[in-house]
A = this chain, B = another copy of it.
Amino acid sequence: MSKVTIYSIAEELNVSASTVSRAFSRPELVKSDVRDQILALAERLGYQPNKTARRLVTGVTGAIGLFVPDITNPFMPPLVRAIQQAAVERDASVLLVDAEEDSRAELGLITRIAGQVDGMIIVSPRSASSVIKQAVGRKPTVLINRVMDGVPSVVCDNTSALREAGGHLVELGHRTIALLRGPSASWAAQRRSEAVRIWARKADVALIELGPFDASFDGGRAGAEAFAESGATAVFAFDDLAACGVVAGLSDRGLRVPAHRSVVGCDDVLLARVLTPSLTTITAPVDDLGTTAVRMLEEALAGNDPEPIRLPGTFVPRDSTGPAAS
């Protein structure tokens, strides 16, 4: 039982190897009855065109590189899934690279996979631009949640959802609200803070800015201390993980959510739904983010350069916000 190739099929059917090849790669070029015969025999023999050989001659790998800073961040898995799914639909595979928050390793990892993929999707709020530029220089690249001149990107825009969240807090009677600022190197963190700031000014609420804190559970926990002493009754946490930290930190001080303080998260990761109390937060359109990124990469691969896209998040009130304690 030797391996089946276009040659073995060609021989069996008394056609040339090219015809067999065409039957798979450009079916419209071969007469339909011949094509059907070929496909049928191939099916019966369990033939699959050898991707490696195809790749060697065409130069297309059929793989896309997915670079994530930290797959352990709860925001990532659903995004990875969405990308993976969109890739499979396009008959592409996903080569995953997790930088493990090690910025020194990033460049090496990127160059490493660049040679094995057609293009890359980079989800990296904090990588140095120089690193990203390296990647962009090698292969068509799409950025997620980060914008950079001349590079296609999809970002989640929370501006209006944050406004809604603010309105919700005001309705609940909150007049002094804290903002836990995220890492200053994070593009998303900056935009978020700015959006809250603008809203607060217009809504005439007292905004107490705290931080910056790490975008982590411990960051949130640290923030809780400042928040508890700030006189604010509600807080915008940097993201859901930080919000969990805030809840924990408040609990350490005997403060309950939402009875004593209200907390708003961001992203709506799994955490937000399973925490007790469940988190009022802003749902990021992860699925859209992922499929859009893949679609844009496809365009970029086709030689166009797609316009940056922003997808709005949506506000979801849950149980971590309640009436302001008097």
Chain A residues in the interface with B (C-beta under 8 A): 48, 50-53, 55-56, 61, 63, 66, 71-72, 74, 76-78, 80-81, 84-85, 88, 93-98, 100, 109, 112-113, 115-116, 217, 241, 244-245, 247-248, 251, 270-271, 273-278
Contact = CB atoms under 8 A, between A and B. Distances in A.
A96 B98 contact: no
Kindly report how many copies of this chain are found in the complex they form together.
2
B72 A88 contact: no
B271 A274 contact: yes
A100 B74 contact: no
B80 A71 contact: yes
B98 A84 contact: yes
Contacts of A93: 95, 97, 112-113, 116
B85 A77 contact: no
Contact of A81 (B55, B100, B244, B248): B100
Nearest to A275: B275
A279 B315 CA distance: 29
Given A56-B56, A80-B96, A248-B276, 8 more contacts: A71-B80, A72-B270, A84-B96, A84-B97, A88-B112, A93-B97, A94-B95, A217-B273
B56 A53 contact: yes
Given A51-B116, A247-B276, A276-B247, A95 B95 contact: yes
A278 B218 CA distance: 13
B273 A271 contact: no
Most buried by B among A112, A248, A273: A248
B244 A275 contact: yes
A182 to B, nearest CB: 17
Contacts of A66: 96
Contacts of A112: 88, 93
Contacts of A274: 217, 241, 244-245, 248, 271, 275
A50 B50 CA distance: 17
A325 B94 CA distance: 51
Contacts of A271: 270-271, 274
A248 B274 CA distance: 8
A244 B55 contact: no
Nearest to A243: B274
Contact of A78 (B61, B72, B78, B94): B72
B77 A72 contact: yes
7 contacts: A51-B116, A52-B52, A72-B77, A72-B270, A74-B77, A85-B98, A88-B112
A290 to B, nearest CB: 12
Contact of A52 (B55, B74, B94): B55
A154 to B, nearest CB: 20
A251 B276 CA distance: 8
